[in-house]
Amino acid sequence: MAILLHKYFPLLQEWTLQIIASDISTEAIARAREGRYSNMEIQRRLRPELRDRYFTRIGNEWRIDDEIRLMVDFYQIDLLDRWPILPQMDAILLRNILIYLNDKQKRSILKRMRRQLRSDGYLFLGANETIFRMENRFETLRFPGAIAYQPVISTSNEQ
C-alpha cells in the first residue's frame, strides 16, 4: 500500500498519512518492521519495475527502501483479543482473515471494524470473503475490480 501511494499519489507525500499494518505473528511483524522479504514474497504479484525501484536484494532476501518502510507502523494484533488504541480509519484492508473464523468470530471482528472506520471509510476484504449474512450495518459498494463496504450511519444509539 505504501509503495502504491508513493508511486501513484506523490502529492500525498505532503500529507500526514498513517499506515498501520498488523499481524498475529511476532516473526512476521519483526520481518516487516525490518523491511525484509523472501524471494517468494517478492515474486507474488509485485511487478518487476516496483521491485527494482523500491527493493534491494541482499543474499536470499529483499529489503524495502527505508523511505517506504518508515511510512508504516507495525502492530502485533490478535483480532480476536484486545486491540491497542487505534485511530479512526479511512480504509481497512482485512484480507484472508475471515475465511479462517467461525460466524461468531466474524461478527465480532466486523462489528469492531465498523466502529474503527470513519463514517465515510471503506472496508476491503479478500477476494473470497464476504460479509453477507454476517453484518448488516455495512453498505456494499462495487468498483471496477473491487468490492468495498462502508458503514451505514445508524440513527439510533446502537453500536
Three-class DSSP category at 30: helix
34 and 106 in a single domain? The answer is no
Per-residue model confidence as pLDDT tens digits over 93-107? 998 899 999 999 999
CATH number at residue 58: 3.40.50.150
Domains identified in the chain, total number: 2
Give the domain range for residue 99. 80-159
Q: According to the model, what pLDDT value does residue 13 have? A: 78
Same structural domain for residues 91 and 149? Answer: yes
- pLDDT at residue number 91: 95
pLDDT at position 127 is 86
* 58 and 25 within one domain: yes
Give me the pLDDT at residue 156, please. 55
* Whether residue 108 is found in the same domain as residue 69: no
Which residues does 19 contact at the CB level (< 8 Å), separation at least 6? Answer: 1, 2, 5, 71, 72, 73
Give the 3-state secondary structure of residue 66.
Answer: helix
Domain boundary (16, 48, 77) is at 77
Q: In the prediction, which pLDDT does 70 show?
A: 93
Point out the residues of the chain with pLDDT beneath 70: 154-159
pLDDT at 38: 92
97 and 112, same domain (yes or no): yes
* 96 and 65 within one domain: no
pLDDT at residue 132, as a whole number: 79
* CA–CA separation, 34 and 134 (whole Å): 36
Please identify, among 35, 54, 77, the residue that sits at the C-terminal boundary of a domain: 77
- CB–CB of 68/3 below 8 Å? yes
* C-alpha to C-alpha distances, 21 to 11, 40, 56, nearest whole angstrom: 22, 20, 21
* H or E segment and range at residue 51: helix 48-54
Domain C-terminal end among 47, 77, 107: 77
Whether residues 108 and 155 fall in one domain:
yes
